[in-house]
């Protein structure tokens, strides 16, 4: 099990990762985080597990990860900003993790809207943002992160779409060093979002996104169509142009994307 004192030792943050709940096995770090009372779990609390028995992904999918290989974590946030910026937290999260990956492994990753990270075209990280009401009716946000770190094998159906940092750089990664870096970069991006206009964060995200001008397939429940990705709006929605020339905004809660 990743030891709390190992994480906190040398951690250079104001609040992120100062309170830690660490498990060998849990249903889902996000579910646990949502149930915690605010006074036990202040802003920046980290929940981490070696294994999840009911890990959840976006769009009601499962998130499966072998014991002790990857990073499965949730961070509790009590944002000091409104909903317009809360919607951009996955963008802050993607940038933070991309930076931490680069710091620790030298690998560069690209952001796939809304909140995946890809290396060499394969998914290495996904995020699940959820909210629940805190004690004082303050908005409580749980940012769940699943990062494939040292996983060596993927099932036949995932092989072409998913990878891990170890597979991409050919070396075993120290998960504690990476986690500390993630916490530091996350706090930095959270503060950027809090103190500066959203465009600053979105511009950084645009530079890491390979999507714009590309043909994409949009999957909306059972329905799918091709379009061109144009840009992201300030509310985090994606601007696309359909094949008949219509511009549309699509929202992360409704769709998933595939590159055509």
133-162 footprint of ligand BTN as x/- string (CB under 6 A): -----------xxx----------------
Question: How far is 33 from 51, CA to CA, in rounded Å?
Answer: 15
When asked if residue 21 is in the footprint of ligand BTN (CB under 6 A), the reply is no
Number of other CB atoms surrounding residue 197 within 10 Å: 11
Q: How many residues interact with ligand BTN (rule CB under 6 A)?
A: 20
Q: Residue 74 or residue 163: which is nearer to ligand BTN going by CB? A: 74
The 3-state DSSP class for residue 8 equals helix
Whether the Cβ atoms of residue 179 and residue 71 lie closer than 8 Å to each other: yes
Q: Residue 94 or residue 181: which is nearer to ligand BTN going by CB? A: 94
Q: Residue 30 or residue 105: which is nearer to ligand BTN going by CB? A: 30
Residue 42 token pair: 């202040």
The residue from 19, 22, 28, 198 that contacts ligand BTN (CB under 6 A) is 28
CB of 70 to ligand BTN, least distance (A): 8
Question: How far is 229 from 217, CA to CA, in rounded Å?
Answer: 10
CB of 144 to ligand BTN, least distance (A): 3
Q: Residue 61 or residue 200: which is nearer to ligand BTN going by CB? A: 61
Where do we find the tokens 């091709």? Answer: 226
Question: How far is 44 from 163, CA to CA, in rounded Å?
Answer: 28
Question: How far is 74 from 145, CA to CA, in rounded Å?
Answer: 6
Whether the Cβ atoms of residue 179 and residue 4 lie closer than 8 Å to each other: no
Number of other CB atoms surrounding residue 6 within 10 Å: 15
CB of 101 to ligand BTN, least distance (A): 16
Window 45-74: residues binding ligand BTN (CB under 6 A): 52, 55-58, 61, 63, 72-74
Q: State the residues that interact with ligand BTN by CB under 6 A.
A: 28-30, 52, 55-58, 61, 63, 72-74, 116, 126-128, 144-146
């Amino acid at each position: 099990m990743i030891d709390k004192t190992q994480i906190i030792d040398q951690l250079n943050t104001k609040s992120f990762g100062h309170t830690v709940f660490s498990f060998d096995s849990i249903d889902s770090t996000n579910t646990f985080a949502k149930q915690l009372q605010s006074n036990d779990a202040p802003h920046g609390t980290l929940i981490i597990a070696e294994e999840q028995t009911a890990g959840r992904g976006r769009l009601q999918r499962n998130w499966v990860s072998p014991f002790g290989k990857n990073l499965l974590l949730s961070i509790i946030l009590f944002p000091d900003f409104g909903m317009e910026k809360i919607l951009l937290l996955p963008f802050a999260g993607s940038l933070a993790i991309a930076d931490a990956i680069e710091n620790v492994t030298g690998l560069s990753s690209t952001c796939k809207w809304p909140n995946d990270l890809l290396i060499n075209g394969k998914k290495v990280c996904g995020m699940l943002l959820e909210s629940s009401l805190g004690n004082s009716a303050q908005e409580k946000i749980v940012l769940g992160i699943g990062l494939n770190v040292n996983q060596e094998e993927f099932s036949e159906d995932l092989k072409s779409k998913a990878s891990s940092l170890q597979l991409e750089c050919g070396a075993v990664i120290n998960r504690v060093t990476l986690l500390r870096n993630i916490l530091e970069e996350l706090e930095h991006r959270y503060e950027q979002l809090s103190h500066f206009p959203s465009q600053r964060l979105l511009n950084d995200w645009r530079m890491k996104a390979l999507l714009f001008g590309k043909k994409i397939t949009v999957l909306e429940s059972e329905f799918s169509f091709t379009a061109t990705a144009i840009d992201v709006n300030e509310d985090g929605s994606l601007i696309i142009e359909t094949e008949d020339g219509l511009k549309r905004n699509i929202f992360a809660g409704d769709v998933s994307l595939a590159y055509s």
